[in-house]
Structure 1
Amino acid sequence: MLNALGRIFGRGTSGDRDDPMAFLDEYAAVMNRHTGLEVYNGFKRGHTGLSIDAGFGSGMLLWLEDGQYCFDEEERGKVVKGGIIASASVELTQKVMVNYTVSILRHSLGLPVLGVPTKADELPSGWVLQETPTWSYVALDGPQGEHLEFVASGARYCVALAWLYDVTPSELLNAYMLPDGGPLLRRWLGYPYLR
């Protein structure tokens, strides 16, 4: 079903989902086609970043720095590093990027706001969020020995990763383009998580 949906919206097929960097092309194509944002995948051209231009001097940036993929907001050419998420895992960072920007996409498609839980007390059973004594969250540990490392400034950016542990960024993007989130977003919750 996701492949058929991908053909409808002009995206890649399941073979592309195995390459985490190929997802950035898919994401840019979807966002450029369906939202007012301008998304530029610099990774494809040998650069170290993907930019999301929201207009009026603001936007978001996904970039690689010192072995960490970082995703943060940009305003007037300045990026607040460590504000949203940084991780050695490009897939974790991409999932946070999708969750962070999906409300723009769903609004553009005329769909209701939909998302997975984002509060620390909404973690799935057995998952634990590690917090440093300062202001950041640094990992999620799962009941089956899962360990997801990152640096994030707020639980709302990383809690969803526990729900999306075994989902690819491409599958997540495709699910958010369905009015009710489809079976992927309903499989844990039993119902769409309307906000």
Structure 2
Amino acid sequence: MSYTSYILAFQLCLILGSYGCYCQDTLTRETEHLKAYLKANTSDVANGGPLFLNILRNWKEVNYIFPSGSFSCCLSSEWIIPSFSLAVLSPKESDNKIIQSQIVSFYFKLFDNLKDHEVIKKSMESIKEDIFVKFFNSNLTKMDDFQNLTRISVDDRLVQRKAVSELSNVLNFLSPKSNLKKRKRSQTLFRGRRASKY
């Protein structure tokens, strides 16, 4: 590589690094705007302890490890608004995704409930966009499916009947045996490829 290539690569790194700082700064600003509008920094908000922090800590401390960069947060006082990213998941990480998905679901319901408040609309959209990029890996279909699941009414009798009708298929899909077969199959394929190289 020539010196020009090194200089261009260095400039690209600087631009991308500053863009990441800018995005985090924007997210922090929008989160603070949302907190100010909802008066989330007053002392009465801390009554009863945090809503999600203890749960996230318990799942992390007991026997679960968050992958580095799995969530970042805007921490002020005792409250956070988490944002997540997807990676290849180990069993422990996928367990964390269950808890994280419930928290993300709560925030989507909260934002949906506050959608008529024009003053904070831009802030909520910025935060939702960050969740979209980090938690759903910029996959619009996954986000739409997730939001549709959160809107399903458990009280609807037809929904109950459909859910029970699909229950055995869902349980089979969730079964660790199917994941084990997939893992064994991929290991066999990998070993076959590795053996053929030698």
TM over 0.5: no
Bigger strand fraction: 1
Bigger helix fraction: 2
Computing the radius of gyration from Cα coordinates, the structure with the larger value is 2
| TM-score normalised to structure 1 length | 0.29
| TM-score normalised to structure 2 length | 0.29
